[in-house]
Structure 1
């Protein structure tokens, strides 16, 4: 059955083919390079790039509107696996540094004078560390995020909060994981500690299983929102050992499987460039993520 599912994945979008070879088949670097270069010239990646305006932005600006703005489009392109050096993306990340970085070390994507949003900072680090790993301004974001850790290891958009929240914590966790993957050494031990503490915080909150029914829906793209699948992917990337909390989540994921496939159960409302997949139908993105997670458990 799994071979049949793999073949189904390989009949999908160029991005799915590349990610399947990268995450499941462990193909050669030459094969991965060939597949990755296709993402920008066909399928979802090409379509997203084609939505870029003459201004360089997607949507109206960095964060207007959801989900077709520059911020979320760069985030999607990164997670499709598009090449790290593609100028459409690297140029806009550098512009974001130039135009939106504030004294705290975060980025303010609002068109008004206000503090940065920590969840947005985490997401920005996620794709900035991917597209522009050598930009030294990333160090400022890392220092800023490390300084925002709440007691217990979580993060919050609310500067006055005494405990972290699910959405902000998962965004920062994902950003730190991307930063580690970039191979940069600045404050790397502190970042690794922050990753462990963020995961511990989420586990200490029982993975937020019972906090919001949307958390237990299979969703893609995740946007800024927390869900169990997104947490499991982060936990797998961080190579944390299993425990009762992880076991519960793995059982939940297995029970979602229908004949070897996982369905798209929910999408977050908002404007989109186009739909990747059909609601309540088998999802290649989610099936790929599920197989990747289960392979490492």
Structure 2
């Protein structure tokens, strides 16, 4: 199965799938134009500009309260809706320099604090690395990168290379916590430039995932959690192999044989119509549905799976070319 994933031509989307992806919300459409159909930059940028003006992006922005928060009355734990709403706006690709983004982020920066702690600013984070990784990510993306929070996360990295919200006392990393921190550190470096300490920490954590094949126990080789083979969007804080692989792609990591099985799993999940389904939707998502029920075709999962296969196959083809020169 892994060998099939090597040939990107085998997985190139049908015209009907590309058309279906483009017949979507601007938050998906602009990424399809950039990553799948490879449209000129000015066309992609024009489509991206619509994210804050219409569709899901505009709807989510409209749900922000004057105090800067989302869904505060519904939060089972502090600022849950606010955190995941900001993450989703980042996933939508809301242009951080747009008028809509600047107004939104100013409210968060000026009015949202961690009252249950010491009243610290929102972007300075709370106590758990999985949540702090998400906060570091959206802060960096929207122009409020926190050196204090990045330093805290670097200091909490465990010996095996990852992070865990239960450390201490736990000394073993969690895939969930690790992917959240990795995404945050990557966004931090993109915002502030390369940093040796951050790059080294990311490299160790990437190896933590890849050495385990993205889903297996290092000691036993067994599948750790079957839910990781079921792809959800939005993932909120949850790990699955599609999220992990899409991170490696976005970080520019060169894929190797350690992740071949995980890539093959992504390829296997494609339905005969060329689309990937929505699976295992999480209860802690935003308060409106973007796609259908579990089991139905998902544009988000299809887009992410296609670009993971593209990244992996292109790298393998380059490796083959170099080896034959």
- Please give the TM-score of this superposition, normalised by the length of structure 2: 0.80
Match of 1:207 among 188, 194, 214: 214
Aligned Cα root-mean-square deviation (Å): 2.5
8 A Cα contact 1:68 1:272, kept in partner: no
Name which of structure 1's ranges 74-83 and 187-196 shifts more when overlaid on structure 2.
187-196
Deviation of the 1:33 alpha carbon: 2.3
C-alpha distance 202-92 of structure 1, shift in aligned 2 (>3 A): farther
> Where in structure 1 do 4 or more consecutive aligned residues deviate above 6 Å?
none
Structure 2 unmatched ranges of 5 or more: 1-12, 217-222, 313-325
Residue 163 of structure 2 corresponds to residue 155 of structure 1: yes
Residue 24 of structure 2 corresponds to residue 12 of structure 1: yes
Q: What's the secondary structure of 1:39's corresponding residue?
A: coil
8 A Cα contact 2:236 2:284, kept in partner: no
8 A Cα contact 2:276 2:298, kept in partner: yes
How many residues in Structure 1 have an aligned counterpart in Structure 2? 284
Deviation of the 1:212 alpha carbon: 1.4
Deviation of the 1:202 alpha carbon: 1.5
- Which residue does 1:111 correspond to in 2? none
Q: How does 1:69-88 map to 2 (within 5 A)?
A: 69-85=81-97, 86-88=101-103
- Which residue does 1:113 correspond to in 2? none
- Which residue does 2:321 correspond to in 1? none
Query: Larger relative CO (CA 8 A, sep 6+): 1 or 2?
Result: 2
- Which residue does 1:194 correspond to in 2? 201
Q: How does 1:109-258 map to 2 (within 5 A)?
A: 116-132=127-143, 135=144, 138-160=146-168, 161-182=170-191, 184-185=192-193, 188-209=195-216, 210-258=223-271
Deviation of the 1:92 alpha carbon: 4.0
Q: What's the secondary structure of 2:214's corresponding residue?
A: helix
8 A Cα contact 2:113 2:120, kept in partner: no
Once residues 76 and 86 of structure 2 are traced to their aligned partners in structure 1, the CA distance between those partners, rounded to angstroms, is 13
Once residues 96 and 144 of structure 1 are traced to their aligned partners in structure 2, the CA distance between those partners, rounded to angstroms, is 23
Name which of structure 1's ranges 92-101 and 12-21 shifts more when overlaid on structure 2.
92-101
Deviation of the 1:19 alpha carbon: 1.2
Name which of structure 1's ranges 238-247 and 77-86 shifts more when overlaid on structure 2.
238-247
Deviation of the 1:45 alpha carbon: 0.7
Match of 1:292 among 307, 310, 315: 307
Structure 1 unmatched ranges of 5 or more: 109-115
C-alpha distance 216-255 of structure 1, shift in aligned 2 (>3 A): same
Q: Bigger radius of gyration, 1 or 2?
A: 2
Match of 2:287 among 261, 273, 276: 273
Once residues 222 and 23 of structure 1 are traced to their aligned partners in structure 2, the CA distance between those partners, rounded to angstroms, is 20
C-alpha distance 158-289 of structure 1, shift in aligned 2 (>3 A): same
Deviation of the 1:106 alpha carbon: 4.8
- Which residue does 1:26 correspond to in 2? 38
